[in-house]
Structure 1
């Protein structure tokens, strides 16, 4: 089975376009949110790298100071808390720490609480290590823009890039976690200081959040202290401003793509419809135009419209040809009796004084015969027009035997012999009564007028059950129809009995009346005499 792709309809294309336009802002918002989270994780990753480096240096300085300044118990780690270090056997020697913050799922904590005055002295080894690291931290801050603090095992600041040295930060969530041996990252709200200027070129003043990272400093399970870092990530506005030229280029590409799509839509949809519209206007104006194949469209309605206009143009052209031919035939039929009448009138007018009464009566009789012929033509044309005009469909269930006998009765009374061979069973047809009666009357009248002297007619019918039809046959034993005329008997104005008053419209009227109600009629060839077969719908 071959799959055949069906073209979309215009409403489908418009719906897809509207949904795309609706999704674009949502996709943009999602992308910006995702990008902002990426900026936060980038800041977190940078803080992790800085904290690992500063923590390693701090541990080195702490151990050197602890060896140089023995404790009361003589041990290096006396009076220090022990913490459990979560280690994965699969990682072995390595202790990787990855950025995990996400704006979509992680809460933004409030501004950190202010530092408290310390009630106990800081660890001596931590103080010495802090003094040695202190000159380094401001230099690091000038490059990384991060706030840096080194804490001892009780959370007391021993070195800082700010001004809270000697204060306790043990009341801060990140410090509490780090002093328990758990590294932690968090997001906190950032409050601008006074009239702090905000510029798109600023690196750390545009964001509304600040990333905090606390990393414990541990040696063989002993907690030596912690490193606390914080920094404002680059805001989405600043990131977009930094990529403004790239985004401008992307916007130009999208605009170009949009213009290309508009041109494509116009080429595949609007252009074929416009061409078909011009062709329809030409047809409506009465021009005789050749309907060329319109360029195929990507939309189904455009092709359907073209096919409909082409079909309509063909039908109109056929009707125009029919009207021209019909007018020529009517004018020919009227021309002969009118010419005879004109000639007779001229002769009487010019020679009335010398004509005998018999000659004058002869010409007047010819004029009367021609007038009667014109009258028959007019009446038959009116009957043909009524037969072909649209009419309300009023169908009835009719008994075939009753209808046939009623139609044949006037002709039998006038002397025509009509044999009726009814079906063994009662047969009902569904058709307009006047249509069937008119058809039978015309056929019987043809037998009376044209079959010849002594001819008789025969009417029979039977049921074709498989097709749900009735086959009604009307025949005679007269002269019949020659093989050369058999194909023309239903043509308008075709007759072989013009000299006896035939108009050539009777069978055309019968055919039009029957076809208007779903019935058909045809001449049965190669039969003695003339035989017509009428196919009627069977009543259910």
Structure 2
């Protein structure tokens, strides 16, 4: 019922500022979409895809120019006939063409090469075109016009001086030598440039015309041996990204949909495996924080370690709070019971003194006052022990100290030896335990006090210390009457004592066990033949003790025993 109430009011307890924050599913989905968009953004910023389109156009123009150059060279040699050697000798010399394969690869890159201004207009030549080149160009012109219908490229062929002898744009007889690409080709060097268009052409995504704001120019020399007989200039507008994407629009749409589905699936999977356990843990934590007594259930495991660690930590904290609440409730009930008896006796005695004090004899008044003093002393012992128990069970955030066992035994035994208890020690008194010295002294003092109260008159106490690996095993035994089987299971319960008349509070062994557990140790009752044996197990502070010796801690010499220290 409490769990249902806590869950039902969950929305009311969530602050408004938290309701406005996105859930982890939304955050993960946005992160995945951003990660998917980053490569596309990088391609756009670096103009990689646009450069690829430019290089594709350059490669196409190089292939076309190579065919046109070979055709024009063959036509020029055919028109020159036997006079070809003499005509070649009058042309400018250039670096001879390499023998064998001579591939011409695309080199343009928009991220590196600038976009040059539009090409200058063709100018009138200083001299007319070479007759042989003109005749070869006239035969080539129909071929260029037919090829342009397919390639859509502007084609021009010049003679050795840069005068156009064949063109698809009506520039015949004009000079293109002022164009940088043509000048480089006439010098025997192929060239490629990107130039801005003179005017934009409106073209749809699926139109034949291309709407890129620049054109690719490619110029190749027409060579025969070591002489340049002309140049071939081709230009073409590359495809724009919009047109390229339009051609693959259905494939891109399918890919985008698939990527969105994958991103949503990944976000959903991550949110399911991460946020669901966190949400379940948060619900349990809110229920515990509201004061509901709910059982902390094990939540579904997550796909990441951090979520499991959070769930385990919250579950452990909730379990600790639950145990603490139970402990406080039981402790409060036990304390009220223990305090009720002496307070009731004290109240009754004081009421009798108040009502009948004047008529009482001196002995009766002294008896009632003595009873009051005993009850007050018992309450004082209870308060002192409760403070000791609270200190023992308080968290210990600091690292444990180092306590020498023999020294702790001697310090704790001194008042009890003076009171008549005989205490013998054997083993390794110099062995060090990983516990605070005052805590170890308190444990021994409680155990010695327990022997005095319960072992009986004339009982002796024996302390032994043995090192086992990285642990110390310390046994405190006595020669008393021992503990009955019925009481053995309750000796560590708070307020359980069989020596209430002797001033016992029933908190000593509970405090001793709490001090031992705070030092990563353990205190247990060991069954044995005769007497009582309590075993204290503590971690060693040092794996190598300095020495090994035996000693006796005993009461001072007395007329009754005659034993000395």
Q: TM-score range by the shorter chain?
A: 0.7 to 0.9
Aligned to 2:282: 277
Report the equivalent of 1:156.
163
Q: What is the rounded CA distance, in whole Å, between the counterparts of 2:502 and 2:450 in structure 1?
A: 12
* 1:9 alignment partner in structure 2: none
Task: Specify the alignment match of 1:10 in structure 2.
Answer: none
Match of 1:309 among 296, 310, 314: 314
TM-score of the superposition, structure 1-length normalised?
A: 0.72
Query: Is residue 497 of structure 2 the alignment partner of residue 495 of structure 1?
Result: yes
- Superposition deviation, residue 477 in structure 1: 1.7
Query: 2:182, 2:219 within 8 Å by CA — same for their partners in 1?
Result: no
**Distance in 2 of aligned mates of 1:394 and 1:261:** 45
Q: 5+ unaligned residues in a row in structure 2: which ranges? A: 1-27, 546-565
Contact 1:62–1:125 (CA under 8 A) maintained in structure 2: yes
In the aligned structure 1, how far is the partner of 2:389 from the partner of 2:474? Answer: 23
**Candidates 361, 379, 385, aligned match of 1:380:** 385
How big is the shift at 1:405?
A: 4.8
Does the 8 A contact of 1:115 with 1:168 survive in 2? yes
2:453–2:499 Cα contact (<8 Å) kept: no
Aligned residue number for residue 135 of structure 2: 128
2:527 aligned residue (525, 528, 531) = 525
Is the CA contact (8 Å cut-off) linking 1:43 and 1:211 kept in structure 2?
no
Name the CA shift for 1:296/1:356 in 2 (closer, same or farther; >3 Å).
same
1:186 paired to 2:187? no
**8 Å contact kept, 1:216–1:226:** yes
| Number of the residue aligned with 1:318 | 323
Alpha-carbon RMSD: 4.9
Distance in 2, Cα, partners of 1:106 & 1:273: 54
Consecutive unaligned residues of structure 1, counting only runs of 5 or more, are: 1-12
Contact 1:206 1:238 in 2 (8 A): no
1:207 has 2:213 as partner: yes
Is residue 73–residue 222 contact of structure 2 (8 Å, CA) maintained in 1? no
C-alpha change, 1:260 and 1:198, in structure 2 (3 Å) is farther
Moved more, 302-311 or 517-526: 517-526
Separation (CA, whole Å) in 2 of partners of 1:205 and 1:225: 31
- Number of the residue aligned with 1:35: 49
How far is 1:186 from its partner? 0.9
Per the alignment, residue 98 of structure 2 pairs with 86
Q: Write the deviation string for residues 40-90 of structure 1: whole angstroms up to 9, x where unpaired.
A: 2332344345445655665676577x3xxxx7xx825353327855342xx
Aligned residues of 2:429 and 2:465 also touching (Cα < 8 A): no
Shift of 1:279: 1.0
The aligned counterpart of 1:389 is 394
* Deviation larger for 435-444 or 418-427: 418-427
Matched residues, number: 505
Alignment partner, residue 508 of structure 1? 510
Q: 1:295 aligns with which of 290, 300, 303?
A: 300
Q: Structure 2 vs 1, CA of residues 178 and 442 (structure 1 numbering), >3 Å: closer, same or farther? A: closer
| Superposition deviation, residue 236 in structure 1 | 3.5
Equivalent residue in structure 2 for 1:442, among 430, 446, 456: 446
Residue 273 of structure 2, aligned match among 268, 271, 278: 268
TM superposition score normalised by structure 2: 0.70
Residue 114 (structure 1) shift: 5.7
